[in-house]
Amino acid sequence: MSVDSNKSPLRVTIRKPVSRTTVILLGVAVWVIFFAAWELAVIFEGVNVLLVPPPETVLATLYELLTGGRFPGDIGISVLRVVGSFAGACVVAVPLGILMGTFAAAESFFNPFVSAWRYLPAPAFIPILLMWLGTGEGPKLALLFIGVVFFLITLVMDYTRQVRIELIETALTLGASQKRVLWTVIVPAVLPNVVVAMRQMLAVSWTYLVIAEIVASTTGIGAMMMRARRFLHTDEIMAGILVIGLLGLLFDLLFRWLHRALFGYLYSQTR
């Protein structure tokens, strides 16, 4: 008796969605494989557990950090730094990117400057940020801001260029002013992709977090990891890495939910 392969829950089909159950199962499976491979590497490769502690040790350390110390406060401070700097970057990048993608004159004026700064590594600004802004929150927020804003401008500009020219020409033919076309045609059309760009660049902001928090900082996840390094507490360092990854995943899921909540019509068209 043959089995219809089309009914297989794990059948792989190009550009076809899978069921929610399959999504959850596959998402859990990849983490099970990851932790199993980590555990097996520690057991069979004979690595130094001081340098590469097993998963259960890291998880136990994470529990202790969350329940018996200042680590929850460090997590809250890191989240505020990322969210605050990212919000500032969005306030600058989104309107500027839309203007650059809409008006060739704006692109011609701003793009040479934005493109040049986009290739400069944000950590290179650490010494001068410390001299300008001192050792408080200023240099940390500025570093996170610089690491994101220029890439976000470029992404928003490119997405704005992709708005169908037929929509713009139709609105102009019907007598709409350029200002009205911008607000009623271009902005609504590009907003779904703007949220996608924000989701993409928030991940970059999290990657700069540890770099920002090792700069004259005594608080935050990165500062905790630097304190652990001094005493060879590798389990605490790996616990911090795990927390950053989990926070990044939570924010990514939040942006996915926000995109679906704001632009549900895009998903209804694909059903």
The DSSP-derived string for 51-68 is TS--HHHHHHHHHHHHHH
For the chain, the straight-line distance linking the first and the last C-alpha, in angstroms and rounded, comes to: 33
- The string of pLDDT tens digits covering residues 155-195 is 999 999 999 999 898 998 888 898 999 999 999 999 999 99
Total Cβ atoms within 10 A of residue 35 = 14
Tokens 């839309």 locate to 98
What percent of the chain is modeled with pLDDT above 70? 94
CA 188 from centre of chain: 23
Residue 190's pLDDT is 95
CB 171 within 8 A of CB 184: yes
- How sure is the predictor about 3, in pLDDT bands with cuts at 50, 70 and 90? very low
- 76/219 Cα distance (integer angstroms): 10
Residue closest to 55 by CA, chosen among 65, 67, 72, 42? 42
Tell me what the mean pLDDT of segment 86-93 comes to.
97
Mean pLDDT of the chain: 88
Is 80 exceeded by the pLDDT of residue 54? yes
- The string of pLDDT tens digits covering residues 129-153 is 888 888 888 899 999 999 999 999 9
- pTM of structure: 0.87
What percent of the chain is modeled with pLDDT above 90? 55
Question: Using alpha carbons only, how large is the chain's radius of gyration in Å?
Answer: 23
Residue closest to 194 by CA, chosen among 267, 108, 117, 259? 259
Is 50 exceeded by the pLDDT of residue 5? no
- 9/3 Cα distance (integer angstroms): 12
Alpha helices in the chain (DSSP H): 20-44, 55-68, 71-102, 104-118, 126-133, 137-161, 165-173, 178-181, 187-207, 209-213, 221-230, 234-262, 264-268
Is 70 exceeded by the pLDDT of residue 238? yes
Residues 6+ apart with CB under 8 A from 97: 152, 153, 154, 155, 156, 157, 159, 160, 194
- 57/64 Cα distance (integer angstroms): 11
- How sure is the predictor about 8, in pLDDT bands with cuts at 50, 70 and 90? low
- How sure is the predictor about 266, in pLDDT bands with cuts at 50, 70 and 90? confident
- All structural domains of the chain, each given as residue ranges with its CATH number in brackets, are 13-55 (no CATH), 75-268 (1.10.3720.10)
